[in-house]
Every structure is written in C-alpha cells, then in structure tokens.
C-alpha cells in the first residue's frame, strides 16, 4: 500500500485543553480508528526557535516528544481535517510518502 508516515513533534509540557498534547493526539488517532501510532520521548531536541529542549534529571517538562504513524491517503486527509478544525492547536509535523504493508499472518 502507499500512504504517508506522519510524525508530530512537541514537548512533554505542551497541553491541549486539560490534557498533554501528545496524549490528546494519541486519543484522537484512536478515535479515528487509525491502525496504530507510537509515542516516543527523546533526550534532546532543538525547537523552531533554536532553543535546546532536553530531559533533565529533576524536570521532564521540556522533554521532546514525537508521535509517529503510517496512514493511508484517506486517513491522512481525515486526520488533518480534524486537526485543522481544532481551535487553538499549534503542532509541527512532517509528512513523508511511504510504501507499507505486513509480512506474515497476524497472531
């Protein structure tokens, strides 16, 4: 199949409404019945304002977070339609065309 790899970049302390932004995004992906997504944390990252964001021993609020998924073109359109309709949302992303599939049978 052909589709897109979507990666959304944020920080641990960013919120949307009353929920951490990355967790809100994961819940949205689940509600749209997208096959899967992975939430990953990183040690360090440089943001759009050239500021270093990192996980510190006592403070994880500035820790970089990524949410990555592989979706069909239709799923991508549905997700971005929903994200664009969300008031006050600011979220950086990368979208890359990919070929994807599954090898073997599901357990």
CATH of the domain at 28: 3.30.70.120
Task: Assess if residue 104 is contained within a domain.
Answer: no
Q: Are 10 and 76 in contact (CB under 8 A)?
A: no
> Which of 27, 26, 34 lies closest to 3, judged by CA?
34
Residue 58, C-beta contacts closer than 8 angstroms, at least 6 positions apart = none
| Domain housing 51 | 2-99
pLDDT of res. 1: 92
Number of domains in the chain: 1
Task: Assess if residue 105 is contained within a domain.
Answer: no
Task: Assess if residue 82 is contained within a domain.
Answer: yes
For tokens 């920080």, name the residue. Answer: 11
Tell me the pLDDT tens digit for each residue of 17-53.
999 999 999 999 999 999 899 999 876 656 666 665 5
Tell me the pLDDT tens digit for each residue of 76-103.
999 999 999 999 999 999 999 999 999 9
CB neighbourhood size of 21 (10 A): 21
pTM of the model: 0.83
Task: Assess if residue 107 is contained within a domain.
Answer: no
CB neighbourhood size of 22 (10 A): 24
Task: Assess if residue 106 is contained within a domain.
Answer: no
């Amino acid at each position: 199949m052909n589709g897109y790899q979507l990666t959304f970049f944020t920080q641990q302390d960013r919120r949307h409404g009353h929920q951490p932004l990355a967790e809100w995004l994961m819940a949205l992906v689940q509600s749209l019945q997208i096959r899967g997504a992975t939430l990953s944390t990183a040690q360090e990252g440089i943001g759009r304002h050239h500021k270093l964001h990192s996980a510190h021993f006592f403070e994880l609020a500035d820790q970089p977070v990524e949410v990555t998924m592989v979706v069909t073109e239709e799923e991508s359109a549905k997700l971005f339609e929903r994200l664009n309709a969300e008031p006050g949302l600011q979220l950086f992303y990368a979208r890359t065309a990919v070929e994807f599939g599954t090898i073997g049978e599901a357990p």
